[in-house]
Amino acid sequence: MEIDIIQKKENKVLNRNEIRFDCTYTGETTPKILDVKNKLVALLNTKKELLVIDSIQPNYGEAKATGYAKVYDSKEDLEGIEPKNIIEKNKEPEVHSNEETTEEKSPE
Protein backbone atom coordinates (compact mmCIF):
# COMPACT_ATOMS: atom_id res chain seq x y z
CA MET A 1 0.00 0.00 0.00
CA GLU A 2 1.32 3.40 -1.06
CA ILE A 3 0.03 6.71 0.25
CA ASP A 4 0.59 10.01 -1.56
CA ILE A 5 -0.33 13.27 0.14
CA ILE A 6 -2.19 15.43 -2.39
CA GLN A 7 -2.99 18.45 -0.24
CA LYS A 8 -2.10 19.60 3.27
CA LYS A 9 -4.03 22.61 4.53
CA GLU A 10 -3.81 24.32 7.91
CA ASN A 11 -7.14 25.20 9.52
CA LYS A 12 -6.26 27.62 12.34
CA VAL A 13 -9.89 28.12 13.39
CA LEU A 14 -10.31 24.42 14.27
CA ASN A 15 -6.67 23.86 15.37
CA ARG A 16 -5.98 21.15 12.83
CA ASN A 17 -4.29 20.26 9.55
CA GLU A 18 -6.51 18.78 6.85
CA ILE A 19 -4.93 16.13 4.63
CA ARG A 20 -6.19 14.83 1.28
CA PHE A 21 -4.42 11.70 0.07
CA ASP A 22 -4.40 8.96 -2.55
CA CYS A 23 -3.94 5.36 -1.47
CA THR A 24 -2.77 2.81 -4.05
CA TYR A 25 -3.11 -0.88 -3.16
CA THR A 26 -2.34 -2.95 -6.25
CA GLY A 27 -2.99 -6.67 -5.70
CA GLU A 28 -4.52 -6.09 -2.26
CA THR A 29 -8.01 -5.56 -0.88
CA THR A 30 -9.18 -2.07 0.00
CA PRO A 31 -7.14 -1.14 3.10
CA LYS A 32 -8.80 -0.84 6.48
CA ILE A 33 -9.00 2.58 8.14
CA LEU A 34 -6.60 1.58 10.92
CA ASP A 35 -3.98 0.36 8.41
CA VAL A 36 -4.15 3.66 6.53
CA LYS A 37 -4.08 5.57 9.82
CA ASN A 38 -0.89 3.80 10.95
CA LYS A 39 0.79 4.58 7.63
CA LEU A 40 -0.28 8.26 7.76
CA VAL A 41 0.96 8.61 11.35
CA ALA A 42 4.40 7.48 10.16
CA LEU A 43 4.33 9.71 7.04
CA LEU A 44 3.20 12.82 8.91
CA ASN A 45 5.31 12.14 12.00
CA THR A 46 2.40 12.69 14.39
CA LYS A 47 0.67 10.83 17.23
CA LYS A 48 -2.10 8.26 16.62
CA GLU A 49 -4.47 9.90 19.08
CA LEU A 50 -4.32 13.23 17.20
CA LEU A 51 -5.12 11.85 13.72
CA VAL A 52 -8.56 10.82 12.47
CA ILE A 53 -9.42 9.49 9.05
CA ASP A 54 -12.71 11.03 8.01
CA SER A 55 -13.25 9.04 4.82
CA ILE A 56 -11.69 6.68 2.29
CA GLN A 57 -13.46 6.44 -1.08
CA PRO A 58 -12.33 3.61 -3.41
CA ASN A 59 -12.23 4.48 -7.12
CA TYR A 60 -14.44 2.12 -9.12
CA GLY A 61 -12.42 -0.30 -11.25
CA GLU A 62 -9.06 0.82 -9.86
CA ALA A 63 -6.87 -0.32 -6.99
CA LYS A 64 -6.87 3.23 -5.68
CA ALA A 65 -8.78 5.22 -3.07
CA THR A 66 -8.97 8.89 -2.18
CA GLY A 67 -9.08 9.87 1.47
CA TYR A 68 -9.48 12.75 3.87
CA ALA A 69 -7.80 12.91 7.28
CA LYS A 70 -7.37 15.52 10.01
CA VAL A 71 -4.50 16.03 12.44
CA TYR A 72 -5.46 18.01 15.53
CA ASP A 73 -3.18 20.12 17.74
CA SER A 74 -4.52 18.43 20.91
CA LYS A 75 -6.71 15.55 21.99
CA GLU A 76 -9.15 18.03 23.56
CA ASP A 77 -9.64 19.79 20.20
CA LEU A 78 -10.27 16.45 18.49
CA GLU A 79 -12.82 15.28 21.08
CA GLY A 80 -14.58 18.65 21.11
CA ILE A 81 -15.02 18.86 17.31
CA GLU A 82 -15.22 15.36 15.82
CA PRO A 83 -18.49 13.40 15.91
CA LYS A 84 -18.45 10.30 18.12
CA ASN A 85 -18.91 7.91 15.18
CA ILE A 86 -15.73 9.21 13.49
CA ILE A 87 -13.77 8.88 16.76
CA GLU A 88 -15.09 5.32 17.25
CA LYS A 89 -14.13 4.10 13.78
CA ASN A 90 -10.59 5.42 14.32
CA LYS A 91 -10.07 3.61 17.65
CA GLU A 92 -7.81 0.59 17.98
CA PRO A 93 -9.80 -2.54 18.98
CA GLU A 94 -9.50 -3.33 22.68
CA VAL A 95 -7.70 -6.55 23.54
CA HIS A 96 -9.03 -8.45 26.55
CA SER A 97 -6.81 -10.87 28.42
CA ASN A 98 -7.90 -14.49 28.99
CA GLU A 99 -7.70 -14.06 32.77
CA GLU A 100 -10.55 -11.53 32.80
CA THR A 101 -12.88 -13.70 30.74
CA THR A 102 -12.07 -16.80 32.85
CA GLU A 103 -12.81 -14.91 36.09
CA GLU A 104 -16.11 -13.62 34.72
CA LYS A 105 -17.26 -17.11 33.66
CA SER A 106 -16.40 -18.99 36.85
CA PRO A 107 -19.22 -18.87 39.44
CA GLU A 108 -18.17 -18.06 43.00
How many percent of the chain have pLDDT more than 70? Answer: 87
What domains does the chain contain, in order, with CATH numbers? 2-93 (3.30.70.330)
Q: Per residue in 74-93, pLDDT tens?
A: 999 999 999 999 999 998 87
C-alpha torsion sign, points 22, 25, 30, 34: negative
How much is the average pLDDT of 6-30? 93
* pLDDT of 59 strictly over 70: yes
